[in-house]
Amino acid sequence: MRTIRVTGKGKLSVKPDTSRITMTLEGRYAEYGETLRRSSEDTETLKDVLAGFGFERTELKTLQFSVDPEYEGYNDKDGIYRQRFVGYRFRHTLKVEFPSDNERLGKVLYALANCRVEPELRISYTVRDPEAAKNKLLGKAVMDSKGKAAVLARAAGVTLKEILSIDYSWGEGELETRPVNGLMMAKRSAAETAGSYDLDMVPDDIELSDTVTIVWELE
């Protein structure tokens, strides 16, 4: 059986429509149980803050959670370097998403930056319907493959018959753009601000690409 294998590439620009705030909590405590308890309490504080802006408590999603023993180095009385256990450190990374709105974003960020637990904050943007974007991208890649295959078949004097297989490379990566890599939000008194950060951010489009390889039988 004669076949032809052609790889097509699709490209797509997607306009972000969803704001994402990523929050990271950290803390170190002497006992493992206390570390877990403090982590839970800090997470509940974030949920309390977000609830004040209309978020359901279940909308705060965990991305990563860890509790690890921590050690510090020191030199003993003989000058020999050693390590000693100093406690357990937790790291909890969470996210919340909502339709893009700079005014709401500024208020939520201000409240998070000025709450008791002071999480590390990061802003990014994504799309509400990532599957639709992925499907459109794959469609473009398939059309590119078909167009190339038709050109090659005409040049070779053969005819394309039925498709034998289709392989594509899309992974599990997220559709996300980050206008800032890190975010430092200073605390302010009530007299210095109206309880919001003045943000004027328009994120770039998310640039996507993918490949599709199609095998045709030739006549």
User: Is residue 181's pLDDT more than 70?
Assistant: no
How big is the chain by its Cα radius of gyration, in Å?
A: 26
Q: What is the value of pTM for the model shown? A: 0.79
The answer on pLDDT for 185 being more than 90 is no
pLDDT of residue 119: 94
Q: How far apart are CA 174 and CA 182, in angstroms?
A: 19
- Asked if pLDDT for residue 186 goes beyond 80, the answer is no
pLDDT tens digits along 82-114? 999 999 999 999 999 999 999 999 999 999 989
Confidence tier at 180 by pLDDT (50, 70, 90): low
Tokens 């030199």 sit at which residue? 75
Q: Is residue 191 predicted with pLDDT exceeding 90?
A: no
pLDDT tens digits along 24-74: 999 999 999 999 999 999 999 999 999 999 999 999 999 999 999 999 998
pLDDT for 219: 84
Given pLDDT bands bounded at 50, 70 and 90, which one contains residue 170?
A: low
Alpha-carbon distance of 184 to 138, in angstroms, equals 38
- Does the 17-74+83-127+179-197 domain belong in CATH 3.30.70? yes
Give the residues across from 80 on adjacent strands: none
Most distant CA pair in the chain, distance: 86
The mean of the pLDDT values for the chain is 89
**What average pLDDT score do residues 197-213 get?**
86
State residue 128's pLDDT score.
92
Let me know: does 76 contact 82? Beta carbons within 8 Å. yes
Contact 93, 106 (CB under 8 A): no
What local confidence, expressed as pLDDT, does residue 26 receive?
Answer: 96
What pLDDT band is residue 173 in, cutting at 50, 70 and 90? low
What are the φ/ψ torsions at residue 157 (nearest 5 degrees)? 70, 35
- Report the alpha-carbon distance of residue 78 to residue 80 in Å, rounded: 6
Q: Where are the domains of the chain?
A: 17-74+83-127+179-197
